[in-house]
Structure 1
């Protein structure tokens, strides 16, 4: 493991090209001033949104302001994420966030003013050809009418926007910039600083002592910060409770699902269906224990290789080639966009000091998407690449085929596009190996995708459900409470074949997704839908590809449940999850055959 570079030391070819969004800081500053001017114009519509002409003009200006604010916000945060310790871009990110809050406040009169009209008037506007570009917006306003407050109350809530971001921002700064981990010894006995980026590499070591020391160092560090992080997570839950009560939702979960129009049963069915299939997870843990030849299987053994003397060292260039080859079933037009992303500055490839951990795809309408990676030369990073490019190409096709207002797809839909790419990559790799060790290695990776993307994310989803319900019931959530709940879930999900180390009780403290509440279940539902779609594409060919591309091009022009249903997958039923579980069982059975 090489030393982590400073940002200035990273070669240009491995950096994204943010100049495609803004040529330089002066261009950003000029657009910032332009937005501040335009937002003053919106006030002329206040009190006049009673006819189709004014509503149309107001919506058009709102789109213009929102689009440019989004560009400013995304750019500032992408720059900030390059090196979160750099004060210049901390300040720029803060400036962009304050502008966003200011804009939200200035635009906050629009929805309540239109909703002050009668339902009959609203329905007439929905049917008015003059407002056809905004039909879905008006339909959504009518649907959400019960949860929209008065104009003055909405203006106050908009001003609270920056406060509502505080828990996530504080956790982000603590987790990415301030927390440091100790040095530990690697496989050859050299002391190396533990980081977010290399943690999994340590857990993939053949040496159980290396794995254990990384695991303990990680959670001992979080344990020292448990009171601060516990207070931060509680603040986020209290924020959610405030908004749910203020907007008159039955619960925080109802509020979280309402925007995507997802029935609550989708969430509860997921947890219940996974509970039904926990014996499969326990069977996999027993298989891991057997293959590792250990008396006890520990939490730090979950990433250790099950195939002796087998490694897949995959450079970034090799990863790109394999990903491109695996996505050929999606057609030449899809591959052309993929190669544009690979070759023209969409991707920020490697870890550097202060860089935001993890990976994501992000961008703003009107410019290509951007992908942040912290690439390591291993199989996991190759799957991360195809996952994030799935998001990026989804955004690209959505922007190409939808107007700004209808282009933004929901996260519920997003995880289908990313996970389908992973399923196609796995199919390609399994079909192109005759080596039994490699096949077992790949099957292990596939089994671990089910473990991490379906079971683990559902466990996270259940943890979120429990802690929010406790908060709503007025119960305490001390760091000890959070740790006990989290530990008990780990025992339940991993079964008797696992020695659930006490240290894992602190894992809740390092999960950034808990600050985007009720988000993680979409990984599990997305994985299930993607498993179904990949099967259709590989078996049916072009008709299934066309249906799938219809999803990517639909953006947010309809509810996600409807978009998926039109393409042949009904997520309001537990059936796609059961289908995914049947594939998981096939994977385990194949592994058991290879290791008899």
Structure 2
């Protein structure tokens, strides 16, 4: 008779302490709905500025200030709905409210689109005069500069308004993907050789693929892939719609390609983008093949299957860690960043910024949402593993970044390019690794920490770079008019996996379906930026180790700068120059050195 291992709880049955507290956003749904009505009224007042922005500097300033205020409120409304939907996508009320918030966002975007259009109708000379006349406009210097850089790609005011009005429709591929994953997709349980019946969800699969039990890993993978396969054509259609939308918009805006359009938004050059992908794919592959062969040898496997890639190398030395223990460890590790940063971390860990419950309908993966004017919110699923501790540190890095940026910048200057976004988060992971190593002189502990560090690099330099390479291929094919189908996506995915892993990993057809796991394909050129952030944090963390406080101060200045600088200049604040591939090669070489040490530890 089968034994049922565990049952995933409904959201209402999980402990409150394991969930986030959304009361800073809104005390209840009634207050949220009241704010929706208030936003609609204030939006009407903001639209009264239409046609008058060129009349005076003070008029332009007042309009921008009121837009900022409204956008802050809209962000709270959107965040409240989105977080509830992420926590339980099976709840019809959450689904409805998320849709309502998306509709409000579309209305606001459409209604305020006149602001950028009217500014661009002015000459740069006149805007310069306004900046001299009204000191308050100085906060908008970079925003105005960026806007004029974009002028060549702006459409008529009427067209921009129509496109903004359709934003809810434009975002629907991502919504459909997420809704399907959290609400409709269900996985069959699987039975292991000992007769145990294991439940399976998106979140649970992340735990099973790291199991030391080969039987569990491979049977979980088979059950997981079986379900993905049933949805592949729908998901391919959804992703194809997203890609086609971007291809059409790039042509409308007179960009040479989708890639150029998306990089323009990030303020990243093509050279920086291709350097990141090409350098890591070429130089990291030999190291990761060594790692795969080492894993096959240590685990005693005849072949290393794709489902075995995340198997622990030293399963007997992987003690469980509670959330409270991990929180204390992370706080100790991040003290080096100074009292202000440490206090932000403490508040996040003690004041329910983190939702760590495992419940039905919860979104998979981890993220940090940071609405301006409110504290950040972190979503993850806690499985009592040390890998969770690194994920927690990672998301707290995002939180610390945006708290510091929010304290020092206006809402329009808070968010930097995505190219920099993953640097603060991966910095926290680097500091956590260093701290654990310093605490112990145990050789086995050192090996274990190296494995955790490799987990960080695997996630950012392997998983996300392979996603980034698939994106690069898909955009190239789409612009040639090639239909984006499930067959094409699976073939391209398998081809790039084979090119990267060579004969070190046994790939099956199911590996080609892994493009269905991540939402990043609906977020523009996001995946490759993980590696850019980790490249910068690797360099900066080594400087902190060598220099101490001066390097810490430089890094904090970059965090506080928010979005006031382009990403290459922001990273230069931390003394990291990403204009060449040198920092990337050094980061890859560092990964190689970790694998060198790991190989020695097993001999």
Range into which the TM-score falls when normalised by the shorter chain:
over 0.9
Q: CA deviation at 1:387?
A: 0.5
270-279 or 167-176, which moves further after superposition? 270-279
Contact 1:82 1:356 in 2 (8 A): yes
1:64 matched to 2:69: yes
The whole-number CA distance in structure 2 between the counterparts of 1:274 and 1:32 is 46
SS of corresponding position for 1:496: helix
How do residues 98-137 of structure 1 correspond to structure 2 at under 5 angstroms? 98-130=103-135, 131-137=137-143
Q: Contact 1:464 / 1:517 at 8 angstroms: preserved in 2?
A: no
8 Å contact kept, 2:394–2:425: yes
Q: Which moved more, 1:188-197 or 1:585-594?
A: 188-197
Aligned to 2:544: 537
1:10-159 to structure 2, matched below 5 A, reads 10-50=14-54, 51-130=56-135, 131-159=137-165
Q: What are the Cα deviations for residues 20-72 of structure 1, in whole angstroms up to 9, with x where unaligned?
A: 11112222122211111111112221111213122111111111211111111
Secondary structure of the 2:317 match is coil
* Cα pair distance change 1:145/1:288, threshold 3 Å: same
- How far the C-alpha of 1:176 sits from its partner, in A, is 1.5
Structure 1 residue 352 corresponds to structure 2 residue 359: yes
- Give the CA deviation at 1:128: 4.3
The CA deviation string for residues 470-490 of structure 1, in whole angstroms up to 9 with x for no partner, is: 000111222111111000100
Partner of 1:248: 254
Corresponding position of 2:491 = 484
Aligned residues: 596
Which stretch of the first structure deviates more once superposed, 125-134 or 143-152? 125-134
The equivalent of 1:164 in structure 2 is: 170
By how many angstroms is 1:306 displaced? 1.3
Residues 159 and 524 of structure 1, relative CA distance in 2, 3 Å threshold: same
Q: Counterpart in 1 of 2:473?
A: 466
**Is 1:125–1:138's contact at 8 Å kept on the other side of the alignment?**
no
Residue 85 of structure 1: how far off its partner (Å) = 0.8
Structure 2 stretches lacking a partner, 5+ long? none
Q: Is the 8 A contact 2:193 2:215 kept in 1?
A: no
Question: What's the offset of the Cα at 1:309?
Answer: 2.4
Tell whether 2:215 aligns with 1:217: no
Match of 2:347 in 1: 340
Separation in 2 of the partners of 1:455 and 1:206? 21
Matched, 1:266 2:286: no
Alignment of 1:311-390 (within 5 A): 311-390=318-397
The DSSP-based 3-state class of the residue aligned with 1:361 is: strand
State the distance in 2 between where 1:449 and 1:70 align: 30
CA distance in 2, matches of 1:284, 1:111: 51
* 2:457 pairs with 1:453: no
Q: What is the rounded CA distance, in whole Å, between the counterparts of 1:308 and 1:505 in structure 2?
A: 28
Contact persistence 1:271–1:458 (CA under 8 A): yes
| Change in 2 beyond 3 A, CA 1:38/1:306 | same
**CA displacement at 1:129 relative to structure 2:** 4.0
Of 407, 411, 425, which residue of structure 2 is paired with 1:400?
A: 407
- TM-score when scaled to structure 2? 0.96
Would the alpha carbon gap of residues 576 and 403 (structure 1) be closer, same or farther in structure 2, given more than 3 Å must change?
same
C-alpha distance in 2, partners of 1:133/1:456? 38
Residue 559 of structure 2 corresponds to residue 555 of structure 1: no
Q: Say if 1:350 and 1:376, in contact at 8 Å, map to a contact too.
A: no
SS in 2 for 1:416: helix
Aligned to 1:309: 316
Distance (whole Å) between structure 2 residues aligned to residue 227 and residue 126 of structure 1: 53
CA contact (8 A) 2:192 2:219 kept: no
1:8 aligns with 2:12: yes
The secondary structure found in structure 2 opposite 1:440 is helix
Mapped to 1, the partners of 2:516 and 2:206 lie a distance apart of 17
Return the offset for 1:438: 3.1
Which stretches in structure 1 are left out of the alignment for 5+ residues?
none
